[in-house]
Amino acid sequence: QSALTQPASVSGSPGQSITISCTGTSSDVGGYSYVSWYQQHPGKAPKLMIYEVSNRPSGVPDRFSGSKSGNTASLTISGLQAADEADYYCSSYTSSSTRVFGGGTKVTVL
């Protein structure tokens, strides 16, 4: 049950695009479409931003998009805004019917 691998931090200027990667194995990210992304502001509960690799829940801006290639999933934030500054976590279903999270990525808006 090793955590998925995410960069510790990513930064960008307002209006720019950033991409966060999430690398797992064929037993989790690469084996299923059940990859999700969560946004967490300090002191708050996580919020679902992307589910099943690339789907957005209602209310999530279309500036957020997801994709997957092989064992690596990605979250892209376009038109970066100050409100996007937060921690982001990826998660995947696994072949053991468990779940696994990434270590988290701190997004900083410069």
Partner 1 sequence: QVQLVESGGSTVQPGRSLRLSCAASAFTFSRHGMHWVRQAPGKGLEWVAVISYDGSDKYYADSVKGRFTISRDNSKNTLYLQMNSLRAEDTAIYYCAKDRLAVPIIDYWGQGTLVTVSS
Residues in contact with partner 1 by the rule CB under 8 A: 1, 3, 34, 36, 38, 40, 45-48, 51-52, 57, 87, 89, 91, 93, 96-104
Nearest residue (CB) to partner 1, 13 versus 45: 45
Q: Which is nearer to partner 1, 24 or 102 (CB)?
A: 102
Name every residue whose Cβ is closer than 8 Å to that of residue 80 and which is 6 or more positions away in sequence. Answer: 12, 13, 14, 15, 16, 17, 18, 109
Q: Which is closer to partner 1, CB of 17 or CB of 26?
A: 26
Supply 2's token pair: 């090793």
Nearer to partner 1, 50 or 109 (CB): 50
Tell which residue, 72, 88, 92, 102, has the closest CA to residue 18.
88
- Among 26, 102, 41, 36, CA closest to 64: 36
Smallest gap from Cβ 77 to partner 1, in A, equals 19
Q: List b or e across 16-37, with b for residues whose CB sees 16 or more CB atoms inside 10 angstroms.
A: eebebbbbbeeebbbebeebbb
State in angstroms the smallest separation of the CB of 15 from partner 1.
28
